[in-house]
């Protein structure tokens, strides 16, 4: 089994990895890091999302770059702003004490802010194609001296119509840089980029392993967004000894959920990319010692958490892909103990859940949320059990004296009822809980489609509607949410009609990328 110590990384980097809780490299990291550090060849890496690609290229880049150069030394190109922010955050968390400036640059963010950052001097830029081209044209970003160029999720770039932008950016870089291209799939167009713009390269493939989920009871609940927090509280309150991770999609969601839980009296804390290393270590230490029993986290922040006896993993937000789902829930059911994985799905997410279930080859059963009455009865039984333990262990004399005084003047049942009310009134009050609305997921669902033409091709909403009606005889009232952008467009159809349209363009592909494909997560 490979270890980070055998890959050629420095002591400083190994210390950072140890602090983050990373125990062993993923397959793509084990294969990629030594090749980059050796400094001989470019790399074409095939690996799925969630396999540790960022650290695979980020760690050796951090190792090889000099400090305080005050010029851009590495450019990492990503298809979406969300991924740009995520990659920048992770590389920042891996650099340790090394003085490198890493900045995400993407459309939608203040141009003035980006200009100030670039003027001060940036070592690593993580950006989206459109905004990178904007800076190249303004001459505020010079790439003629970079040492590394990374194209992350290249097939997604192709899907989103960014390949021409990628080529334009590559034309503005120096020929002697090291280039790394990572992609889940390898269409011909991607390999043509490798042939044209890269030097001698190694192709690194990581087998898409069987997705396995062992000893984990998997459940999903249908719930609206507004009722998720109430559902979460009911699930936790039904458990005698809840000890688990709650996964949210964004840092804002993590903070919101964690703060609400703390306000309700739960022993909870938040873990995300905005925390300093010392804060992260402190929170993880408390969680491992069970001083807190609930940790709310993002996927990125939770990487490397080594906790073996979790009772629950809760997907507060449905994960992005089957690999993320399996990675999340694999944290339960260890050491021969059965764990429970719970997923909340909102109306419209049923198809995505079915896809995850199919790809992970697993059974995720539907269940009904506990009613308020069920939660109260469970709490009552728990209080009775705990009181019986105290009674059998002989209460302290001080409390026996108080008991005798109370019983001398009052009815025994009323005394006990008053004590229970005084101690547990809030906990056993049904008004502490909010009713949860019953929802039904949209099994038929809707599908958002990506169209590889836009305004520059003369496309308008009416032309797109007429085109879809002509090609597949789909009624106009089924065609919704049309968005025409410069180079590509989006349209939403009911699931059935979308499948008809996708099948038509799949048949007419003729070796080229289809004009209409299914839009992927993260597209705007």
Q: Find the mean pLDDT for residues 128-152.
A: 94
- CATH number, span 216-369: 3.40.50.300
CA–chain centroid gap for 272, Å, is 11
Average pLDDT over residues 137-160: 90
Q: How confident is the model at residue 322 (pLDDT cuts 50, 70, 90)?
A: confident
Contact between 2 and 24 under an 8 Å Cβ cutoff? The reply is: yes
518: pLDDT strictly greater than 90 = no
Residue 207 structure tokens: 């087998």
Q: Please tell me which residue, 213 or 52, carries the higher pLDDT value.
A: 52
| Least confident interval from 33-37, 82-86, 127-131, 164-168 | 82-86
- At 447, give phi and psi (nearest 5°): -130, 130
Q: Which span out of 16-25, 340-349, 394-403 was modeled with the highest average pLDDT?
A: 340-349
> What is the pLDDT confidence band of residue 524, given thresholds at 50, 70 and 90?
very low
Which tens digits make up the pLDDT trace of 394-440?
Answer: 778 888 888 888 888 888 888 888 888 888 877 777 777 777 776 65
Q: Average of pLDDT values for 443-467?
A: 84
Point out the least confidently predicted range of 166-170, 270-274, 509-513: 509-513
Q: Is the pLDDT of residue 74 over 80?
A: yes
Distances (CA, A) of 96 to 20, 54, 118: 10, 15, 22
Tokens of 171: 């034309």
Give the C-alpha separation, 342 to 244, whole Å.
11
- Domain 4-205: give its CATH superfamily: P-loop containing nucleotide triphosphate hydrolases (3.40.50.300)
Q: What number does CATH give the domain 446-518?
A: 3.30.70.330
Between 128-137, 454-463, 498-507, the lowest mean confidence (pLDDT) is in 498-507
Mean pLDDT of the 184-199 span: 86
- Token code pair at residue 407: 């019983």
Name 45's bridge partners: 182, 204
pTM of structure: 0.50
Q: How confident is the model at residue 499 (pLDDT cuts 50, 70, 90)?
A: confident
- Least trusted range by pLDDT, from 120-134, 322-336, 412-426, 443-457: 322-336
Q: What value does the mean pLDDT of the chain take?
A: 84
Tens-digit pLDDT profile for residues 88-127: 988 998 998 899 999 999 988 889 999 998 998 899 999 9
Encode 136-146: b = buried (16+ Cβ within 10 Å), e = exposed. beeeebebeeb
Q: What is the mean pLDDT of residues 225-248?
A: 91
216-369 matches 446-518 in fold: no
Give percent above pLDDT 90 in the chain: 31
Which range, of 113-122, 225-234, 272-281, averages the lowest pLDDT? Answer: 272-281
Does 161 score more than 50 pLDDT? yes
Where along the chain do its domains lie?
A: 4-205, 216-369, 373-432, 446-518
Give the pLDDT confidence score for residue 507 in this predicted structure: 57
Q: Residue 217's pLDDT is what?
A: 87
User: What pLDDT score was predicted for residue 1?
Assistant: 53
Angle at 490 between CA 487 and CA 494, to 5 degrees: 160
Closest CA to 246 of 344, 129, 143: 344
Whether residue 510 has pLDDT greater than 60: no
Contact status, residue 445 vs residue 351, Cβ threshold 8 Å: yes
Q: Given pLDDT bands bounded at 50, 70 and 90, which one contains residue 522?
A: very low
pLDDT at 451 > cutoff 80: yes
List of residues 6+ apart from 13 with CB closer than 8 A: 4, 59, 62, 63, 94, 96
φ and ψ at residue 222, rounded to 5 degrees: -90, 120
Beta bridge partners of 450: 490, 517
pLDDT of residue 28: 87
Tell me the C-alpha distance between 430 and 15, whole Å. Answer: 50
pLDDT, position 438: 67
Sole residue written with tokens 């920048």: 88
Count Cβ atoms below 10 Å from residue 517 Cβ, excluding itself: 16
Nearest partner of 181 among 28, 302, 337, judged by Cα: 28
**Per-residue pLDDT for 179 more than 90?**
yes
pLDDT for 254 beyond 90? yes
310 DSSP assignment = B
């Amino acid at each position: 089994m490979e270890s980070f110590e055998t890959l050629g990384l420095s002591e400083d980097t190994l210390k950072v990895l140890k602090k983050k809780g990373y125990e062993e490299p993923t397959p793509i990291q084990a294969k990629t890091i030594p090749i980059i550090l050796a400094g001989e060849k470019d790399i074409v890496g095939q690996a799925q999302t969630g396999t540790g690609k960022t650290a695979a290229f980020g760690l050796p880049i951090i190792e090889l770059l000099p400090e305080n150069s005050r010029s851009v030394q590495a450019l990492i190109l990503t298809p979406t702003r969300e991924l740009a922010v995520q990659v920048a955050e992770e590389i920042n968390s891996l650099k340790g004490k090394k003085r490198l400036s890493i900045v995400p640059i993407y459309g939608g963010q203040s141009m003035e802010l980006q200009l100030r950052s670039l003027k001060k001097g940036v070592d690593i830029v993580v950006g989206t194609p459109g905004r990178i081209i904007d800076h190249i044209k303004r001459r505020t970003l010079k790439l003629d001296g970079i040492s590394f160029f990374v194209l992350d999720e290249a097939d997604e770039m192709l899907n989103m119509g960014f390949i021409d932008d990628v080529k334009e950016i590559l034309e503005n870089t120096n020929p002697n840089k090291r280039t790394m291209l990572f992609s889940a799939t390898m269409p011909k167009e991607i390999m043509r980029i490798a042939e044209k713009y890269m030097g001698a390269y190694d192709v690194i493939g990581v087998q898409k392993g069987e997705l396995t989920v062992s000893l984990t009871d998997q459940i999903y609940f249908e719930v609206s967004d507004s009722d998720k927090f109430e559902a979460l509280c009911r699930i936790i309150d039904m458990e005698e000894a809840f000890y688990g991770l709650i996964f949210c999609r964004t840092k804002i969601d993590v903070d919101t959920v964690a703060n609400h839980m703390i306000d309700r009296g739960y022993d909870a804390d938040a873990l995300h990319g905005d925390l300093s290393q010392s804060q992260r270590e402190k929170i993880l230490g408390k969680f491992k010692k069970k001083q807190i029993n609930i940790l709310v986290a993002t996927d990125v922040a939770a990487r490397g958490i080594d906790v073996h006896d979790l009772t629950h993993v809760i997907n507060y937000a449905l994960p992005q892909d089957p690999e993320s789902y399996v990675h999340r829930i694999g944290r339960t059911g260890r050491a021969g103990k059965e764990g429970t994985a719970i997923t909340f799905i909102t109306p419209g997410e049923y198809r995505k859940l079915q896809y995850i279930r199919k790809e992970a080859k697993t059974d995720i059963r539907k269940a009904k949320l506990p009613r308020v009455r069920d939660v109260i009865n469970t709490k009552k039984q728990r209080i009775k059990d705990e009181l019986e333990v105290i009674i059998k262990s002989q209460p302290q004399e001080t409390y026996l004296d108080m008991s005798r005084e109370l019983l001398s003047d009052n009815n025994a049942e009323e005394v006990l009822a008053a004590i229970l009310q005084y101690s547990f009134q809030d906990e056993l009050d049904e008004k502490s809980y909010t009713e949860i609305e019953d929802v039904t997921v949209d099994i038929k669902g809707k599908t958002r489609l990506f169209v590889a033409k836009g305004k520059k091709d003369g496309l308008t909403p009416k032309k797109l509607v007429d085109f879809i009606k002509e090609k597949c005889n789909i009624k106009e009232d089924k065609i919704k949410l049309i968005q025409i952008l410069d180079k590509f467009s989006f349209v939403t159809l009911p699931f059935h009609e979308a499948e008809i349209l996708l099948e038509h363009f799949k048949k007419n592909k003729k070796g080229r990328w289809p004009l209409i494909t299914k839009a992927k997560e993260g597209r705007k």
